[in-house]
Amino acid sequence: MTGPTAPKEPKPRKPPSFSKRKGREAQNKVRELILAHLNLDPDDVKCALMGESGADIKLSKAARELFDYSVEVKWREKINVWDGIACAKQRKGEPMFCFKRSRSEMFAVVRLEHLLDLIKQAMANG
């Protein structure tokens, strides 16, 4: 059957390796941004291995002194923000959920009160 009444064929599913590659790329992007903005040594910020438990971005003690966040990273077309925040909250540090989708920039979610505290601190430091 063809035409407007034909049932839609489901999109073929991407292999798991495709999703893992995107996840790795997203983690690497977050790592690169942290290193570039905080002037840390590359050994201080590592990406978790796929399937490894814990935070997606592993921080050394020196990095934690500057950036004490529990970072969860996702690259998906559809995001459940609450699930990402819940994952980030399971670990030590201020929860941060970083996410993107294809052809978009990276975004981060933190608690509003924490963000306002950062802005207040930046204003005080002039």
The burial class, CB within 10 Å (0-12 / 13-18 / 19+), for 24 is: middle
Confidence band for 54, pLDDT divided at 50, 70 and 90: confident
Residue 2 pLDDT more than 80?
A: no
List pLDDT tens digits, range 9-28.
776 666 666 677 888 999 99
The arithmetic mean of pLDDT across residues 37-49, rounded, is 94
Overall domain count for the chain:
1
Rounded to the nearest integer, the mean pLDDT of the chain is 89
**Structural domain harbouring 29:** 16-125
Contact 53, 72 (CB under 8 A): no
Residue 1 pLDDT more than 60?
A: no
Confidence band for 4, pLDDT divided at 50, 70 and 90: low
Is 8 a member of any domain? Answer: no
Is 99 a member of any domain? Answer: yes
Is 10 a member of any domain? Answer: no
Q: Does residue 106 sit in helix, strand or coil?
A: coil
